[in-house]
């Protein structure tokens, strides 16, 4: 197993499911890191240089400076091979990559850029009005299609393959944001999916990073570093964050 001469830097706050995915993989593999827990809308010019798309996470170590949670997790899997977060078989790895892609794109679009943005990001960061009718429409009209797909994919017990893998993590992380958006999903309608997510979230790595996000959701962004320090999370000495929010290319 390769080792790091010093902890990696991970830029991005644990409220982001994409950041929590990378943090969970680091926790599973024992990769040390320090966190610069910025909300992406508060990234400064240095953040734009590191990722022109202005998205989190950004991962930096002694060999690379890379962005995109999937790219980062693939790098971690190749550099720190044990314990593996991908299944062993070629076909199983392909299936795991597809489920991760579905989570990052379709599930991510509906749960983050539709629901969480309308419920939390817009009102908190950009002072937009929380439109309850719009949120209700997203829950009624967009969430069920995504959940129906996940219900077909969800294992009846355990995880997708022989142990927790990146595909399980990639799905599970989005459901914490759905909870933070104050949406309760119907367990009788999607029992396999919600039980699967609960099993994944209860694993030590995901439970640890989920707890970070839970705590940060109770305070304003300018308190995130202080709260994480109190939780014993290693932090970078400097930050690429600023005090003024700025929309990225995606919005």
- Residues forming a β-bridge with 150: none
> Model's pTM, two decimal places?
0.96
- Band of residue 251 on the pLDDT scale cut at 50, 70, 90: very low
- pLDDT confidence of residue 25: 98
Share of the chain above pLDDT 90, in %: 93
- Band of residue 2 on the pLDDT scale cut at 50, 70, 90: low
- pLDDT confidence of residue 168: 98
With a cut of 80, say whether residue 1 has pLDDT above it: no
198-233 as b/e, with b when 16 or more CB fall inside 10 Å? ebbbebebbebbbebbebbeeeebeebbebbeeeeb
Which alpha helices (H) appear in 65-142, and where do they start and end? 69-79, 90-102, 108, 122-125, 132-141
8-84+205-230 and 90-203: identical CATH topology: no
- What is the total residue count of the chain? 251
- Fold designation for 8-84+205-230: Glutaredoxin (3.40.30)
CATH of 90-203, one of 1.20.1050.10, 3.20.20.70, 3.40.50.880, 1.10.10.10: 1.20.1050.10
pLDDT tens for residues 57-101?
Answer: 999 999 999 999 999 999 999 999 999 999 999 999 999 999 999
pLDDT tens for residues 112-131?
Answer: 999 999 999 999 999 899 99
Copy the structure tokens of residue 243: 């005090």
106-124 as b/e, with b when 16 or more CB fall inside 10 Å? ebbebbbebbbbbbbbbeb
Domain ranges of the chain: 8-84+205-230, 90-203
- Band of residue 250 on the pLDDT scale cut at 50, 70, 90: low
In 3D space, the residue among 105, 185, 190 whose CA is nearest the CA of residue 139 turns out to be 185
- pLDDT confidence of residue 107: 98
pLDDT tens for residues 91-112?
Answer: 999 999 999 999 999 999 999 9
- pLDDT confidence of residue 3: 84
């Amino acid at each position: 197993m390769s080792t790091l001469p010093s902890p990696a830097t991970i830029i991005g706050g644990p409220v982001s499911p994409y950041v929590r995915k990378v943090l969970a993989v680091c926790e599973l593999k024992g990769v040390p890191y320090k966190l610069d827990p910025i909300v992406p809308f508060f990234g400064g010019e240095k953040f734009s240089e590191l990722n022109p798309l202005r998205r989190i996470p950004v991962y930096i170590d002694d060999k690379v400076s890379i962005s995109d949670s999937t790219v980062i997790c693939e790098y971690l899997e190749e550099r720190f091979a044990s314990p593996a977060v991908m299944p062993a078989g070629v076909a199983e790895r392909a299936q795991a990559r597809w489920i991760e892609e579905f989570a990052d794109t379709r599930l991510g679009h509906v749960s983050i850029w539709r629901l969480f943005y309308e419920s939390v990001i817009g009102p908190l960061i950009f002072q937009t009005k929380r439109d309850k009718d719009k949120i209700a429409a997203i829950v009624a009209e967009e969430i069920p299609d995504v959940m129906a797909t996940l219900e077909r994919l969800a294992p009846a017990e355990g995880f997708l393959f022989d142990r927790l893998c990146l595909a399980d993590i990639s799905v599970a992380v989005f459901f914490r944001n759905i909870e933070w958006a104050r949406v309760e999903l119907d367990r009788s309608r999607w029992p396999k999916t919600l039980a699967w997510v609960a099993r994944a979230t209860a694993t030590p790595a995901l439970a640890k990073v989920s707890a970070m996000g839970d705590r940060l959701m109770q305070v304003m962004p300018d308190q995130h570093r202080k709260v994480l320090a109190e939780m014993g999370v290693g932090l970078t000495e400097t930050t690429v964050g600023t005090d003024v929010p700025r929309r990225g290319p995606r919005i």
